[in-house]
Structure 1
């Protein structure tokens, strides 16, 4: 076994800062693009389908590359994969900023998403490699806070750039800002990130398993594609759902191949043995539910405030600022407790956010056009305590017992759950919202806010659609309670540190 060279505590935290900066950049580009779509359509003449692909292309490529890139980083070298991903991300961002037509922008977004898919599993693997025990909990606390900030502030950053620079320069700099950021990060990454790591040694233990990689990628593609291409409008092709049948076929083939590959003495892409551990099994389910619930909630609020009540994009983007700040502070603070109390923190966080979801519905029912942004900001600010508990604690709980040599692929499978949950949740929530809002009076291609009926119809659409993330919150609460019970039994039996399979 090749062991990583010792890294000082100061050096570990410096390398961690580099990882966090890159993680924030990849998450920002997942969410900040939403407010740029209308300016892109106006300046590039992009069609609605091309605009959808600008969002969907990034999500698709991100999700497909996660597990293969995580596996390659585990087997080969996470630092090398990190540098490759960062340089590719920078080049793709520059191409996005300079795109001369919508087709080029779609292609650039695909490349940018692939780079993000390469980067994120290396970030998680490096955190596992840099820290142990209590320090790992603190690191994941800060990591969770950073992801929360990126998710919440993304639309605000995009809106501010467009407001300050105008439509065309604004959307171009929304992508172009990644170039100077990457140029700053790159020399620090080369110097600070450790180049050596633990590897599984032995015959067949360092095979890449190209067949498994391909089957996994096609399965993820077929699962995600019908959801990311769902807009909730009449333009959606119903035949896209047949792709899910292909996902079942390729998924079954993937499981069969991986078991056969393992039986032959090789190391497969996914170690299904990880799912025998309660912490990993429940953790992946919780993170998938969380990302099927939280981003759609933000989307529904944005659609309601912007389209239904006529608020400006910058105002709508600022509504989530209290949520971002509070969740980040709480996540960073709870990091010191996640190593011992992760399951309890996740359960409490789910309870808090479920209550906040009912508060969001109450604002939708009783709030008016003038006070709704303030009321949403207050409810989200209080509810931000929930994700502050959940994000860092669930990350720690899930990966606590994953071997270092499998940290990249173990963490990347969580990320696949996030991307799948994100795509599915947004597709379902948006479909419900637009199905109800489709009867609203229109002034050309935008809602007619001079008609008193508009706000009421969009209010009904928001309330109907928000029941979906509320239902997911209740399911997440049940799963986190089951995980908490397992944790309690382990502690009572004196096996908390062993995390025996359940």
Structure 2
């Protein structure tokens, strides 16, 4: 499969297009954070509307991932990728032109759906176009993309708002996607192989999507994610009743999928995926890791901007060391994972835990305006570790997955990451705001929130160590 007729050079160019689009869609998860004051000023948006500008995108993104993976596996990953890219580009233009806050929220919901459609196709295309060590290198670049998009978002948003001004700068946070999207679409038409994924699963092009499965999975994830995403906006404890309801719906979904598979039907998510312990542990590790590392930026930018008065641009510059470290190590991690396996991820997690803890200690030592400088070294260390976690974990988790299920499997992995981010923001944010309310200390709130994030990272390390022990016992490490 790796000996594609387009040639080796074309495959790597196609990967470049995929990563450009992946970067653009993932960037929109974090870039809007620093644009909220500009949106508030430009559209007279209230707290609820600002919340949905952020959470609406994350919600529809997370809900779309698994069905999108199935669509790519059934009807062709190239087709699904192009539809998602066109939709994302048009929705970005709609966001930039939005005349009201409500219109902006609606376009963000569409943007999230389009981004969710794109995500699984990228991992599926990598599985399709590369094998062996080359696949590890390709996923290494994908890991670089994820790490950069997560960390560079605040800096990119800050630069755009600084250049265009606070009143209208937020519009360029969305407009910048339009020329990139158009260029990427034209390149994708030329470079991405047309056969990718098309008709490769049972039923091929004639296969129907499991409607009951989509309904159960969608409502279950919605019930779990909504109270987590809206934790700060929905007061009271009643919202937490949605989580057991969501878990019950997800249990019903799992039983339905088993029943569908046993009766000879085609389930939305093939239960065979979860017979691989490596895949299950990889998904769990991703959930726990994203609950820890991604939420550090959430509270760090709050601390810098609201607590220390940093501008959007300066706050973005403060997290750049993490992005640099992640970019450097992710490509290296993709090359090394084939030989080093899960031990590489364990080492990366140790670096992340150490860097995150040192960042909290740095703020304890330097709680004032120089905190951004004090945390630069620890964030660089954490970034170096992160690059050795995300891409290698993806490579190992998907190693035993059949190519025909690559899109679906990638969608499940990314859904676990989005769910982890939502859980982390809820837990870390609750600790952060509770400490802030009782002490009025922004530095102390950051340290408390960071400790919760470290707890998630340690849990991810425990999963990695368990998988490493199993692999060594089986002679696979």
CA distance, structure 2, for counterparts of residue 408 and residue 4 of structure 1: 20
Residue equivalent to 2:311: 312
C-alpha deviation, 1:313, in angstroms = 2.1
- SS of match in other structure, 1:369: coil
CA distance, structure 2, for counterparts of residue 465 and residue 52 of structure 1: 20
CA distance, structure 2, for counterparts of residue 188 and residue 132 of structure 1: 23
Give the alignment's Cα RMSD to 1 decimal. Answer: 1.9
Q: Which is further off, 27-36 or 472-481?
A: 472-481
CA distance, structure 2, for counterparts of residue 3 and residue 389 of structure 1: 24
| Cα contact 2:257–2:267 (8 A) shared by 1 | yes
Equivalent residue runs for 1:468-487 within 5 Å: 468-487=452-471
Equivalent residue runs for 1:96-107 within 5 Å: 96-107=95-106
Q: Which is further off, 177-186 or 314-323?
A: 314-323
Residue equivalent to 1:330: 329
| Cα contact 1:279–1:397 (8 A) shared by 2 | yes
CA distance, structure 2, for counterparts of residue 318 and residue 203 of structure 1: 48
| Cα contact 1:205–1:266 (8 A) shared by 2 | no
Equivalent residue runs for 1:134-153 within 5 Å: 134-153=133-152
String of CA shifts for 1:42-86, please: whole Å, max 9, x gaps: 111111011000001000000001000100110111111111101
String of CA shifts for 1:225-271, please: whole Å, max 9, x gaps: 1111112x7x5243221211320221122112111100111221112
C-alpha deviation, 1:204, in angstroms = 11
String of CA shifts for 1:13-59, please: whole Å, max 9, x gaps: 11111110010001110000001111111111111011000001000
Equivalent residue runs for 1:440-479 within 5 Å: 457-479=441-463
Residue equivalent to 2:291: 292
Equivalent residue runs for 1:32-431 within 5 Å: 32-197=31-196, 199-201=200-202, 206-231=207-232, 236-431=235-430
CA distance, structure 1, for counterparts of residue 126 and residue 167 of structure 2: 38
CA distance, structure 1, for counterparts of residue 316 and residue 48 of structure 2: 24
- SS of match in other structure, 1:438: helix
CA distance, structure 2, for counterparts of residue 334 and residue 259 of structure 1: 36
- SS of match in other structure, 2:474: helix
- SS of match in other structure, 1:270: coil
| Cα contact 2:151–2:323 (8 A) shared by 1 | yes
C-alpha deviation, 1:275, in angstroms = 2.0
| Cα contact 1:289–1:476 (8 A) shared by 2 | yes
- Uncovered stretches (5+) of structure 2, i.e. residues with no partner: none
CA distance, structure 1, for counterparts of residue 205 and residue 13 of structure 2: 35
CA distance, structure 2, for counterparts of residue 311 and residue 85 of structure 1: 36
Q: When the two structures are aligned, how many residues end up with a matched partner?
A: 475
Taking structure 2 as the reference length, the TM-score comes to 0.96
Taking structure 1 as the reference length, the TM-score comes to 0.91
String of CA shifts for 1:421-463, please: whole Å, max 9, x gaps: 11111122112111221256xxxxxxxxxxxxx5xx1122122
- Uncovered stretches (5+) of structure 1, i.e. residues with no partner: 441-453, 497-502
| Cα contact 2:143–2:391 (8 A) shared by 1 | yes
C-alpha deviation, 1:7, in angstroms = 3.8
- SS of match in other structure, 2:45: coil
| Cα contact 2:42–2:167 (8 A) shared by 1 | yes
| Cα contact 2:158–2:311 (8 A) shared by 1 | no
| Cα contact 1:204–1:267 (8 A) shared by 2 | no
CA distance, structure 1, for counterparts of residue 95 and residue 208 of structure 2: 35
CA distance, structure 2, for counterparts of residue 354 and residue 5 of structure 1: 40
- SS of match in other structure, 1:106: helix
- SS of match in other structure, 2:341: helix
| Cα contact 1:203–1:266 (8 A) shared by 2 | no
- SS of match in other structure, 2:32: helix
CA distance, structure 1, for counterparts of residue 309 and residue 437 of structure 2: 16
